[in-house]
């Protein structure tokens, strides 16, 4: 173990020790700035923690990075060292890939259809069947804003052909495959390194909801945006399965109530996310709309990546869940 990892582990242990017994304080690890206007995941986390505190269960929010990066926090949740965390969807797919259906580009019509598949047709339960044996449970799927579009540092994107000279920041191999389907290239860059990558030309852009450059201060170097409506942008609220199973019936009822309240608040927040394009333009970002023909081109190219994101049985399950 490197000195960096030793220091990180020591800081985590210190934070956990300072918080007292696990039952005395519930740690909620954030993944964004504490911004109730701009961050859907913070709306979820803050509502969840507030609900618990108001119902006799002590909870505390920990700012992004305080308990480590996404992978480190995920490991701590599986071990029961952190009770609740906001996390990328793909992180649970290292255990079971069913959750990757939520990452299929141009597959869902919007958050209402996603909720129908997850809650009415049982897909969240199916996801948890695959991952809870590893010590983690998806408490909720959290929207982080309207559908994602294409940001870049170099020029407007009006057609798929305009992507050819760009190298896009990718979250993982699935995004690299998507960019290749669009006729361009990708490079995996951690979120912490994104500003430097964009400023040095390691990456020329990324796919994200419109609010992201505003929330993280990236409009200084991202000057072009195409609202391509690629995918409903989501992250997950994960909880420690050991911690959840160890709760009393009364405590579990309270936690379930907090999850429901937080998810409702997150969906209500989404309805308030208007005027973001105007904010981007005020920050100097040029917005280029796609014609229906150009959008269809992106959709058709994206569909070929589905079988690289999920297997045939998983794809069939998601198709059935949105068809009912």
Question: How is the chain split into domains, by residue range?
Answer: 3-144+235-270, 149-231+274-323
Report, in this order, helix, strand and coil percent for the chain, each rounded to 5.
50, 15, 30
Q: Could you tell me how many residues make up the chain?
A: 324
Instruction: Name the band, by pLDDT with cuts 50, 70 and 90, for residue 233.
Output: confident
Sheet containing 224-226: give its strands across: 185-188, 167-170, 205-208, 149-152, 224-226, 286-287
pLDDT tens-digit series, residues 138-163 = 999 999 988 899 999 999 999 999 99
d(CA 279, CA 256): 36
Q: How many CA atoms lie within 13 A of 57 on its CB side?
A: 23
Determine what percent of the chain is predicted with pLDDT higher than 90. Answer: 83
Helices within 101-154 (DSSP H only): 111-115, 123-131
CA torsion angle for 196, 169, 156, 270 (degrees, to 10)? -100
pTM comes to 0.82
149-231+274-323: CATH, from 3.40.50.2020, 3.40.190.170, 3.30.43.10, 3.30.70.580: 3.40.190.170
d(CA 222, CA 208): 12
pLDDT tens-digit series, residues 71-121 = 999 999 999 999 999 999 888 998 999 999 999 999 999 999 999 999 999
Q: Is domain 3-144+235-270 in CATH 3.40.190.170, yes or no?
A: yes
Q: What three-state secondary structure class fits 209? A: coil
Whether residue 302 has pLDDT greater than 90: yes
pLDDT number for residue 4: 44
- Let me know: does 31 contact 87? Beta carbons within 8 Å: yes
Q: Do domains 3-144+235-270 and 149-231+274-323 have the same CATH topology?
A: yes
């Amino acid at each position: 173990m490197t000195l960096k990892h030793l220091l990180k582990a020591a800081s985590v242990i210190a934070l956990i020790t300072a918080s007292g017994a696990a039952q005395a304080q519930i740690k909620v690890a954030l993944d964004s700035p504490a911004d109730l206007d701009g961050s859907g995941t913070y709306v979820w986390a803050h509502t969840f923690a507030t609900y618990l505190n108001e119902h006799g269960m002590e909870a505390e929010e920990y700012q992004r990075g305080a308990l480590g990066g996404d992978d480190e926090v995920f490991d701590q949740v599986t071990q029961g060292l952190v009770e609740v965390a906001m996390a990328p969807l793909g992180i649970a797919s290292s255990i079971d890939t069913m959750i990757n259906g939520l990452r299929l580009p141009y597959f869902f019509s919007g958050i209402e259809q996603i909720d129908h598949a997850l809650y009415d047709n049982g897909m969240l339960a199916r996801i948890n069947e695959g991952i809870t044996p590893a010590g983690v449970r998806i408490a909720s799927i959290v929207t982080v804003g309207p559908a994602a579009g294409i940001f870049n540092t170099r020029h407007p994107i009006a057609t798929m052909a305009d992507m050819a000279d760009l190298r896009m920041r990718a979250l993982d191999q699935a995004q690299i495959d998507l960019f290749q389907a669009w006729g361009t290239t990708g490079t995996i860059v951690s979120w912490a390194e994104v500003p430097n990558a964009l400023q040095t030309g390691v990456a020329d852009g990324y796919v994200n909801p419109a609010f992201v450059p505003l929330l993280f201060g990236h409009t200084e170097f991202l000057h072009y945006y195409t609202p391509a409506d690629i995918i409903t942008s989501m992250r997950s609220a994960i909880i420690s399965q050991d911690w959840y199973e160890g709760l009393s019936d009364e405590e579990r009822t309270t936690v379930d109530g907090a999850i429901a309240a937080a998810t409702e608040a997150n969906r209500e927040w989404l309805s308030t996310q208007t005027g973001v394009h105007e904010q981007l333009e005020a920050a100097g970002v040029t917005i280029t709309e796609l014609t229906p023909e150009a959008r269809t081109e992106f959709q058709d190219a994206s569909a070929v990546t589905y079988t690289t994101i999920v297997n045939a049985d998983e794809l069939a399950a998601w198709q059935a869940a949105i068809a009912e």
